[in-house]
Structure 1
């Protein structure tokens, strides 16, 4: 597999000669690209690859010479798109693509600016399907279902094969229309040192101290025991920590919690893909999907006992079991830390980091290239019940706004299909390990590579992958509401407020935003319609979320052998 991030020599020569000019857009650049970066790493045969590239050349002809601008967050997959696929697409089609990489918060900010001004800031955004509630309500995002039958029909790949995409449900609104096209996808799972968990001396010491076997924690009480057991222990000359997280007051701290932390604790209602009527943000909706409350006095659960429990556990574990510097880190800074070799487990770990955890020479990789670590389902909190959301899955998706001129939207749509095409997706997935297609997940090359990926392939080949979902329909304005989370959670993380105080403030601010949306009426019949305030005890006595406080917020710790989990995934 070629893991280069710059165009190859052959492709670079083609780019130089052709200059991505429409007069020269032909199969020479395509063949150079296929030779250097695709080869056998494709779900298609070479003949089929060339046929698909020829379709892109022909479809792009009306817009050859155009320059378009695309933006995405900076993760490994998007780096490959920006550095390899964008130049290749430009040379092959004659449509010049500038694929800009910025922080995720900045992507959302630019998107919000285009919403508000109507000016075409970018021709396409690769942004999370977490915004589906926003895109569906505001009507400013082109729905791709109608687009592919209308202005985008002549620019829609006959080999797009939507049935092959695994994340379409996340990008589909309650109206059944597709608003975004997935181009990368990753789950939030549990990460642990498999070698340490299987060391007989460590196993014996743990069982002697806690009275049950060391294994993958099923619930938070077991996770806490394991964190306490490993923290401060000396292994291979290193002082080990039993937990890793981050706590800096930074926009990325918000994702740490909106990415399903409250539902993992058990704060939301039962229901998949998201709790109904109360979701993992604690927002309640009525039967028409109108948000009606976030605080308990309106029927929400953002400040409920289960939510408070979730924040208290986060703060306690960060302060007691993680490296001292973790409290001052953000998402990007904390991500590489487990690979340094002194972290025993991490409850909240994105599989997007897999690509950076398997490099030869790392302390967490064996000499034969196999990992010393594994991934497994994240444990759940004491309020969690069967039928609740299990965990979070990020579905980064191509999004084209109505304010983008039609011709530029057509060119951007071609690029979206190119970077997620059956020709390129296997090779792209080997680089970034963010699967979007069934044909890629089941490709023979991933069967061969699976032993080096710590359970990632087994997870994505299992039906259980569908139990990890992104933010659902209840969130009416993701950009405005998401920015509130890191500020209030930051107060709890730093000790400036208690968990209850932070969540009381957060739910009140969420409702203030929703009140403004309600008064403005800009989201029509699906916009917020807040309930009247009443004693929270009324809602706590009703079935479902918000759930009343439990006397025992620990519960009986439970673990399971990792090999048993893998057997469940593979069978």
Structure 2
């Protein structure tokens, strides 16, 4: 736990927050502003007090109520659970239990509540990846109608939805908002800036490969750099040129559905997601109805570009990563670059910037980082106008099966932890930005030099090319589990990548066929295409794309400072 969270826990004890008073208390709000916010907000003190007074007043009908909410375990949600939940209880009189569990467990609980109708949690922090599920099943309250209907009296006048950067990902094709972002992070390229700018290392690379060491623009350059660094000894440490993970675990599926395939160039052009074929390889028709995932139905999940994507990841994991990486999960692999022996990582979730900043191995004595963040390179099948990365947008989600009064109380908590009063301090801890006002604040202008390009990225127009799973996916819980099971077979060598992807797309289509027969998803449910020879679709424009005769394109790099300069322009 970092110093800020330790001091916040002390604050909670001094106020009696952890015990949870039964009545709303503006005095507790004032002390929270004094001891926790300390003026670090985009609101003036007067406006902070006004926002807190609104929470005190709006919570009056719910004083003494106990509610239960849940999220995955990352630094941002630890702060919400350990600091903001007790503060909210002291200020509003609503006792909040904010559980922290694995992301896969969050989805499982949500799925159980959907199927049983039993109210397990009063609100979920649920990834926007499930937007396609939520808009089809009708089991989630759409917040647009909620905020003008049953939730009107508990919707803050200072919520300021226009200030959120991720609501385009939580909105259905008809313009209804289904989820409220509470944390957001991208997967970006990460590299050791100090090594990449070392004159001797740069000269050695130039001699070996004939071009300048820099941020790789494409996968060919990434592979050269991975090969160059792997096995070198720098400052007495054996270095690896790549970091990844390969354990057969639910997080292995995220590794690929989280835009790896679109980074390779598997899908179609389009933002925030490729259309008609997205980064899962699922094709939809003009009515946003899924029609297939295999090439025989116009999908791309088993296409040459998909095989190239999986083969590349496995090859780099085996050749250029620490041997232990093959047996790691997402949460185990994420902090490894902070240990100081990784030269670059194609796929760095920025939620792991917090442990990087805390590591002496990758930080200079003056508090500046030895590393930088940049856009991930793209594969040989990628085309201009395609998304180039993934954004995780963990978002507050209210189920229809939750009683109205409990949903109203939970909605108050969701707004408190995303409020403009709180957001800058929360972003300081987790570095998972959700508001434009926070990103562009003077506070983060001051912090930017110590965050390795994270702030510059989020202020840049390039940010829009990173997006979560979109609306093509009709049932995220059912389809996501098929990815890690099948990709795991390719990772272990039990199947070739082609065999694993052939099985994956068939398994996905089996689920979509069942949904079509059940007819439970209304006008947005699957309507499967008739199967025909894959050659028909390979000859059509866009995805699925035919195999290239040569998948080894000319390597290309760019200087990091030149890249950042291009963002500012």
| Normalised-by-shorter TM-score class | over 0.9
Query: What is the aligned partner in structure 2 of residue 187 from structure 1?
Result: 186
Deviation per residue, 1:183-228 (Å, 9 max, x gap): 0000110000000000011001101111110000000000000000
Gaps of 5+ in 1: none
Query: What is the aligned partner in structure 1 of residue 384 from structure 2?
Result: 386
Query: What is the aligned partner in structure 2 of residue 466 from structure 1?
Result: 464
Name the CA distance, whole Å, in 2 between partners of 1:96 and 1:306: 51
Query: What is the aligned partner in structure 2 of residue 414 from structure 1?
Result: 412
Query: What is the aligned partner in structure 1 of residue 338 from structure 2?
Result: 339
Deviation per residue, 1:225-245 (Å, 9 max, x gap): 000000001111111100000
Would the aligned equivalents of 2:132 and 2:476 in 1 still touch at CA under 8 Å? yes
Give the 3-state SS of the residue equivalent to 2:4 in structure 1: coil
Query: What is the aligned partner in structure 1 of residue 157 from structure 2?
Result: 158
Give the 3-state SS of the residue equivalent to 1:556 in structure 2: coil
| Gap change, CA 1:17 and 1:263, over 3 Å in 2 | closer
| Gap change, CA 1:17 and 1:182, over 3 Å in 2 | closer
Query: What is the aligned partner in structure 1 of residue 513 from structure 2?
Result: 515
Query: What is the aligned partner in structure 1 of residue 371 from structure 2?
Result: 373
Would the aligned equivalents of 1:191 and 1:345 in 2 still touch at CA under 8 Å? yes
Name the CA distance, whole Å, in 2 between partners of 1:333 and 1:362: 19
Would the aligned equivalents of 1:11 and 1:36 in 2 still touch at CA under 8 Å? no
Deviation per residue, 1:272-324 (Å, 9 max, x gap): 11110000000000011110000000000000000000000011000000011
Gaps of 5+ in 2: none
| Gap change, CA 1:96 and 1:432, over 3 Å in 2 | same
Name the CA distance, whole Å, in 1 between partners of 2:542 and 2:563: 30
Give the 3-state SS of the residue equivalent to 1:546 in structure 2: coil
Query: What is the aligned partner in structure 1 of residue 136 from structure 2?
Result: 137
- 1:467 Cα deviation (Å)? 1.4
Query: What is the aligned partner in structure 1 of residue 430 from structure 2?
Result: 432
Name the CA distance, whole Å, in 2 between partners of 1:442 and 1:488: 42
Q: How many residues align?
A: 568
- 1:496 Cα deviation (Å)? 1.0
Would the aligned equivalents of 1:187 and 1:351 in 2 still touch at CA under 8 Å? yes
Would the aligned equivalents of 1:184 and 1:395 in 2 still touch at CA under 8 Å? yes
Query: What is the aligned partner in structure 2 of residue 21 from structure 1?
Result: 22
- 1:2 Cα deviation (Å)? 5.9
Would the aligned equivalents of 1:11 and 1:29 in 2 still touch at CA under 8 Å? no
| Gap change, CA 1:529 and 1:15, over 3 Å in 2 | same
Does 1:3 find its partner at 2:4?
A: yes
Give the 3-state SS of the residue equivalent to 1:317 in structure 2: helix
Query: What is the aligned partner in structure 1 of residue 395 from structure 2?
Result: 397
Would the aligned equivalents of 1:49 and 1:423 in 2 still touch at CA under 8 Å? yes
Query: What is the aligned partner in structure 1 of residue 475 from structure 2?
Result: 477
Name the CA distance, whole Å, in 2 between partners of 1:119 and 1:399: 16
Query: What is the aligned partner in structure 2 of residue 349 from structure 1?
Result: 348
Does 1:167 find its partner at 2:166?
A: yes
Give the 3-state SS of the residue equivalent to 1:140 in structure 2: coil
Name the CA distance, whole Å, in 1 between partners of 2:292 and 2:159: 40
Would the aligned equivalents of 1:298 and 1:531 in 2 still touch at CA under 8 Å? yes
Deviation per residue, 1:488-522 (Å, 9 max, x gap): 11111111110000100100000001011111111
Query: What is the aligned partner in structure 2 of residue 306 from structure 1?
Result: 305
- Aligned pairs for 1:161-560 (under 5 A) are 161-359=160-358, 362-560=360-558
Normalising by structure 2, we get a TM-score of 0.98
Name the CA distance, whole Å, in 2 between partners of 1:454 and 1:127: 28
Name the CA distance, whole Å, in 1 between partners of 2:180 and 2:201: 46
Would the aligned equivalents of 2:17 and 2:87 in 1 still touch at CA under 8 Å? no
Would the aligned equivalents of 2:68 and 2:123 in 1 still touch at CA under 8 Å? yes
Name the CA distance, whole Å, in 1 between partners of 2:114 and 2:44: 42
Name the CA distance, whole Å, in 2 between partners of 1:258 and 1:352: 18
Would the aligned equivalents of 1:6 and 1:83 in 2 still touch at CA under 8 Å? no
Would the aligned equivalents of 1:6 and 1:84 in 2 still touch at CA under 8 Å? no
Name the CA distance, whole Å, in 1 between partners of 2:113 and 2:393: 21
Name the CA distance, whole Å, in 2 between partners of 1:346 and 1:13: 43
- 1:406 Cα deviation (Å)? 0.4
Deviation per residue, 1:387-411 (Å, 9 max, x gap): 1111110111000010000000100
Name the CA distance, whole Å, in 1 between partners of 2:7 and 2:107: 27
Give the 3-state SS of the residue equivalent to 1:480 in structure 2: helix
Query: What is the aligned partner in structure 1 of residue 92 from structure 2?
Result: 93
Give the 3-state SS of the residue equivalent to 1:357 in structure 2: helix
Name the CA distance, whole Å, in 2 between partners of 1:2 and 1:233: 36
Would the aligned equivalents of 1:7 and 1:87 in 2 still touch at CA under 8 Å? no
| Gap change, CA 1:327 and 1:19, over 3 Å in 2 | closer
Give the 3-state SS of the residue equivalent to 2:390 in structure 1: strand
Give the 3-state SS of the residue equivalent to 1:475 in structure 2: coil
Name the CA distance, whole Å, in 1 between partners of 2:10 and 2:209: 59
| Gap change, CA 1:487 and 1:10, over 3 Å in 2 | closer
Give the 3-state SS of the residue equivalent to 2:395 in structure 1: strand
Name the CA distance, whole Å, in 1 between partners of 2:513 and 2:194: 52
Deviation per residue, 1:361-386 (Å, 9 max, x gap): 52111111111000000000000000
Would the aligned equivalents of 2:386 and 2:465 in 1 still touch at CA under 8 Å? no
| Gap change, CA 1:427 and 1:210, over 3 Å in 2 | same
